[in-house]
């Protein structure tokens, strides 16, 4: 059984499309669970596949107007992505807050949570410490107008580039993270993007985002770049898709340490999704940072990381996490603070242990106001008696009362 968000992601269709198909009786309405959420079973999925196949066939007959497929924000694997929790986050916010116009997602990652609120017409403040994420934020959340026809034609040109020569990417990552052919092509595409001199900032970010998402799909990894698989079996040729165009007007985008940023921003809801354990995102995504920055640094070690990663190290992956969290929460200027934290692992010093305990989160948040804790099965806990063992994802909502 899948929730609607998973169906949207798997088949690259929107919730609205699904509702339209139900209304048009192209598919049967799925059963609902006790919360009133659709639960899509195998039979429902078969119907969706059938409709998609029919639509695809009739589109092919009608035109080949846009041969390049479009890319969506959530077409990306990312450690700690909250894609599967969006329905849960939406429900908690809808039912327990009011008057929200500005939402800040200050540990943005893929931006999937911010995008949930962007689609609802909220003004977005989005931030991440990584440059590669910042680039994708410019694409999905940027306010700048872009020439979409130009972007499409450049992406078509990039897909057709010949790449027979070795370059920085093939020299360092060929036959390790990417097949040699793909590594050469990635290097050639990245160089070509840098050579264009008729692109605005956001237009360039469209090309880079397209490349970054495409690299992820052909990487010989399990989804991050801490290591590559021994056997090279990612031989599918790299193919760039055109990122979907969102017409935004009022968003703010940053690449900063969130602890510094909160001094300068004001929102109605600040969403916080820090790293949970000692795994540094700057290490896991060093390769994307490297290619997006394109300064071509020397890389070392088996994992081929560039050396100077100090600026992208996070306190939240160290024993300083509780102190950093306290300082962060103390300086937030917002009506509500919403925190995601995965407490499955006990607090401790191991690589996968959580760095902040449930009790620490609650007591720090209580310093600012009333706190309610929600679990993925939508149980509400009173903070005095919270018993969290056995559950996976939690949301802590603080209604701010004290400055
Ligand atoms: C759990 S992930 C967020 C996932 C995101 N909610 C999503 O759905 O894709 C945590 C993110 O925080 C970023 N990060 C870590 N430390 C940070 C800091 N001090 N300031 C800003 N971002 C930070 C990491 O780069 C990572 O992208």
pLDDT in tens, 161-214: 999 899 999 999 999 999 999 999 999 999 999 999 999 999 999 999 999 999
Q: Identify the band that residue 64 occupies on the pLDDT scale cut at 50, 70 and 90.
A: very low
CA-based nearest residue to 104, from 92, 83, 118, 91: 118
Going from the C-alpha of 307 to that of each of 35, 113, 221, 311, the distances in angstroms are: 49, 31, 21, 11
In angstroms and rounded to an integer, the radius of gyration of the C-alpha atoms of the chain is 22
Residue 352: per-residue pLDDT: 73
Strand partners of residue 125: 104, 252
Is the entire prediction scored with pTM above 0.85?
no
Give 384 or 2, the one with higher predicted confidence: 2
Whether 66 has a pLDDT exceeding 50, the answer reads: no
CB 328 near ligand 1, within 6 Å? no
Question: What share of the chain has pLDDT > 90, as a percent?
Answer: 74
* pLDDT score of 87: 92
- Say which CATH topology domain 66-403 has: Rossmann fold (3.40.50)
DSSP secondary structure string for all residues of 178-211: B-HHHHHHHHHHHHHHHH--S--HHHHHHHHHHH
For residue 240, which of 209, 205, 202 has the smallest C-alpha distance? 209
Tell me, using a 6 A CB cutoff, whether residue 251 lines ligand 1.
no
Residue spans of the domains in the chain: they are 4-65, 66-403
Instruction: Name which of 2-6, 10-14, 293-297, 299-303 the model is least confident about.
Output: 10-14
> Tell me: the pLDDT tens digits for 267-305?
999 999 999 999 999 999 999 999 999 999 999 999 999
* pLDDT digits 0-9 by tens, 75-91: 999 999 999 899 999 99
133 vs 84, more confident:
133
pLDDT band at 391 (very low <50, low <70, confident <90, very high): low
Buried b (16+ CB within 10 A) or exposed e, 134-169: bbbbbbbbbeeebeeeebbebbeebbeeebeeebbb
Q: Which residues contact 306 (CB under 8 A, 6 or more apart)?
A: 286, 289, 290, 297, 298, 299, 300
- Alpha-carbon span 391 to 372, nearest angstrom: 16
Residue 401 region by backbone torsions, left for phi larger than 0, else alpha for psi between -120 and 50, else beta? alpha
Ligand 1 touching residue 141 (CB < 6 A): no
pLDDT over 80 (residue 382): no
Protein residue with its CA nearest to atom 16 in ligand 1: 314
Mean pLDDT on 385-399: 72
**Chain-centre distance for alpha carbon 167:** 29
Average pLDDT over residues 230-250: 93
pLDDT at 59 over 70: no
| Closest CA to ligand 1's atom 3 | 109
How many CB atoms neighbour CB 82 within 10 A?
20
* Cβ–Cβ < 8 Å for 291, 134: no
Say if ligand 1 is within 6 A of residue 276 CB.
no
Distance CA 291, CA 296 (A): 8
Nearest to 105 by CA among 94, 91, 89: 89
Does any ligand 1 atom lie closer than 6 A to the CB of residue 73? no
Residue 22: pLDDT above 90? no
Task: State yes or no: pLDDT of 356 exceeds 70.
Answer: yes
More confident: 317 or 6? 317
* Residue 258, ligand 1, Cβ within 6 A: yes
Q: Which two tokens stand for residue 104?
A: 């800040």
Which atom of ligand 1 has the smallest separation from the CA of 78?
9
**Ligand 1 midpoint to CA 103 (Å):** 16
């Amino acid at each position: 059984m899948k929730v609607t968000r998973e169906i949207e992601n798997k088949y690259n269709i929107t919730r609205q499309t699904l509702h339209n198909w139900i209304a048009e009786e192209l598919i049967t309405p799925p059963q609902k669970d006790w919360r009133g959420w659709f639960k899509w079973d195998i039979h429902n999925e078969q119907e969706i596949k059938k409709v998609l196949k029919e639509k695809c066939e009739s589109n092919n007959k009608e035109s080949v107007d846009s041969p390049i497929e479009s890319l969506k924000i959530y077409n990306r694997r990312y450690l700690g992505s909250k894609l599967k929790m969006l329905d849960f986050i939406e429900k908690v916010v809808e039912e327990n807050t009011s008057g929200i116009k500005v939402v800040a997602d200050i540990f943005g990652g893929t931006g999937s949570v911010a995008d949930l609120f962007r689609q609802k017409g909220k003004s977005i403040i989005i931030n991440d410490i990584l440059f590669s994420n910042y680039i994708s934020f410019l694409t999905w959340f940027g306010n700048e107008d872009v020439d979409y026809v130009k972007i499409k034609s450049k992406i078509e040109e990039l897909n057709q580039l010949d790449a027979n020569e070795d370059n920085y990417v093939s020299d360092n990552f060929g036959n390790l993270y990417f097949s040699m052919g793909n590594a050469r092509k990635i290097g050639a595409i990245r160089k070509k993007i840098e050579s264009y001199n008729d692109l605005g900032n956001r237009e360039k970010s469209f090309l880079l985002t397209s490349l970054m998402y495409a690299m992820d799909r052909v990487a010989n990894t399990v989804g991050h770049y801490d290591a590559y698989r021994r056997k090279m079996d990612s031989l599918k040729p790299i193919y760039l898709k055109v990122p979907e165009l969102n017409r935004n007007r009022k968003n703010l985008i940053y690449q900063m340490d969130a602890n510094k940023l909160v001094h300068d921003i004001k929102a109605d809801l600040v969403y916080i999704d820090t790293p949970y354990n000692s795994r540094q995102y700057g290490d896991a995504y060093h390769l994307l940072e490297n290619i997006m920055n394109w300064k071509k640094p020397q890389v070392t070690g088996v994992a081929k990381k560039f050396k100077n990663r100090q600026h992208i190290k996070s306190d939240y992956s160290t024993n300083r996490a509780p102190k950093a969290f306290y300082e962060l929460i103390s300086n937030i200027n917002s009506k509500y603070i919403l925190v995601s934290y995965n407490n499955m692992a006990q607090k401790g010093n191991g690589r996968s242990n959580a760095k902040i305990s449930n009790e620490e989160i609650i007591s720090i948040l209580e310093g600012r106001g009333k706190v309610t804790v929600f679990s993925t099965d939508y149980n509400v806990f009173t903070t005095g008696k919270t018993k969290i063992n056995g559950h996976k994802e939690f949301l802590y909502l603080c209604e701010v009362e004290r400055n």
